[in-house]
Amino acid sequence: MADVNRTNGGANLLALRSHNTALVLDLLRGAGAGGISRLELAERTGLTPQAVSKITARLREEGLAVEAGHRASTGGKRRTVLRLVPGAGHAVGVHLDRDALRAVLVDLAGTVVAERCAALDLGAGAEAVVAVVAEEVGALAKGVRGGGRTGAAGADTAAAESLPALLGVGVALPGPLDHTRGVLHRVTGFPEWDGFPLRDALARRLGVPVVVDKDTNAAALGLAVAGERGSFAYLHLGTGLGAGLVIDGAVHRGARTGAGEFGHQVVQLDGPPCGCGDRGCVEALCLAAVARGDLAEAARVLGIAAGNLIALLDIDLVLLGGRTIATARDAFLRGVAAVLDERARRAGEEPVPVRAAPGEVADGAAQLVLGPLFGRADA
């Protein structure tokens, strides 16, 4: 543990070392099984070869990296290739929906290696929900703690103390909430959660670090880590409707984690009441159309709201996800795209593309834990 009385210069040096290590780890992760050489790491990070050698030596000692053969010579000696050891650490991602839970165990590469699903009643109270989460996380993490990991020579070695096998748990659920403190606010439809410190309650129960964020933010982070570039909106239609916003490659949460409350923009004055207390919200209109089986109308309303978002933020892409979208993916893609195409035609512009989002909220929740390890400050 770092000395809390360390000077500012020493603290900055520690932060710099951590940043440089994250740069190297991120490149190792991106290189996949094929690996990357130390020279390439130096060229792509801007670090000196000596600094890269020190970092990679430490990563090998900790079981995070391993030699993966050599590359043919281009005039000098053959280059040794290094790769990340995905099984050297794991994170759990949990998606708490209003009526269901999905939890995944992922390795350092973000690959889901185990999954559990359970029924959940978010209105059952904090104690009951925390107990269900603890049970599902415990089942997934069983066998991970203290497990072996592949060392520098490829043999199983004891887990290094510097990186526990289970790094932590990311929890994603409907907002609004305070991401920084892990405290819930008046979750739409469940005002009794207002002020509950979910992060700290789960951390005490589980004994590992916990990060809490909105479901849409977690999903958006997962998409960005998986390779979506630029600025995009992830629109999630399930038991509710929300948006995760990525601006210039970084998740945009806002000063109070309030960004992305997409479902509660009013598009019909004096419309039907919404669970948030307002009337004519996009969420209320969409869910009502879905309930009566009018998917074309639900997609049209979603498209109108997406068009408003595009006009406001000038984003490059719209991604659709959530269980309701999954039940009629083509209908929603066609309906939303039709609205955006018409708006673009009137403005004489190219329409913003609409695609189905790969991955799930729980996968993105795991990235809330893994992100900082790989230099994702927005995680």
pLDDT(153) > 50: no
What is the overall mean pLDDT for the chain?
Answer: 88
CA end-to-end distance (rounded Å), the chain? 23
Interval 90-107: pLDDT, tens: 999 999 999 999 999 999
- Indicate the pLDDT class of residue 17, thresholds 50, 70 and 90: low
Interval 166-182: pLDDT, tens: 999 999 999 889 999 99
Q: Which residue has the higher pLDDT, 7 or 257?
A: 257
Question: Which pLDDT score is estimated for 234?
Answer: 98
pLDDT(379) > 90: no
Q: What is the mean pLDDT of residues 58-87?
A: 85
State the amino acid at position 238 in one-letter form. G
What are the angstrom distances between the C-alpha of 333 and each of 70, 317, 364?
Answer: 46, 13, 22
- CB atoms under 10 Å from CB of 98, counted, come to 17
Question: Which pLDDT score is estimated for 258?
Answer: 86
pLDDT(45) > 80: yes
Q: What is the mean pLDDT of residues 250-266?
A: 91
Question: Which pLDDT score is estimated for 79?
Answer: 84
Interval 264-316: pLDDT, tens: 999 999 999 998 899 999 999 999 999 999 999 999 999 999 999 999 999 99
Question: Which pLDDT score is estimated for 78?
Answer: 74
pLDDT(155) > 70: no
- Indicate the pLDDT class of residue 142, thresholds 50, 70 and 90: confident
Token pair of 136 as six digits: 């599902």
Question: Which pLDDT score is estimated for 2?
Answer: 34
Question: Which pLDDT score is estimated for 143?
Answer: 65
Rounded to two decimals, the pTM is 0.87
61-75, 204-218, 284-298: segment of lowest average pLDDT = 61-75
Listed in order, strand segments (DSSP E) in the chain are 36-37, 65-71, 79-84, 90-96, 100-107, 112-119, 149-150, 156-157, 166-173, 177-178, 183-184, 210-214, 232-237, 241-247, 250-252, 317-321, 354-356
φ, ψ (nearest 5 deg) of residue 162: -70, -20
- Indicate the pLDDT class of residue 374, thresholds 50, 70 and 90: very high
**Contact of 255 with 263, CB cutoff 8 Å:** no
Q: DSSP class of residue 180?
A: T
Q: What is the mean pLDDT of residues 248-271?
A: 91
Beta bridge partners of 36: 82
Q: Which residue has the higher pLDDT, 14 or 49?
A: 49
Token pair of 100 as six digits: 């269901």
- Indicate the pLDDT class of residue 15, thresholds 50, 70 and 90: low
Beta bridge partners of 178: 183
Distance, CA of 272 to CA of 277 (rounded, Å):
10
Distance, CA of 241 to CA of 72 (rounded, Å):
52
Interval 343-372: pLDDT, tens: 999 999 999 999 999 988 999 999 999 999
pLDDT(156) > 90: no
Q: What is the mean pLDDT of residues 9-17?
A: 49
Q: What is the mean pLDDT of residues 26-51?
A: 95
pLDDT(14) > 50: no
Q: What is the mean pLDDT of residues 185-208?
A: 93
What are the angstrom distances between the C-alpha of 324 and each of 236, 287, 291?
Answer: 9, 9, 11
pLDDT(8) > 80: no
CA-nearest of 330, 257, 341, 275 to 299 is 330
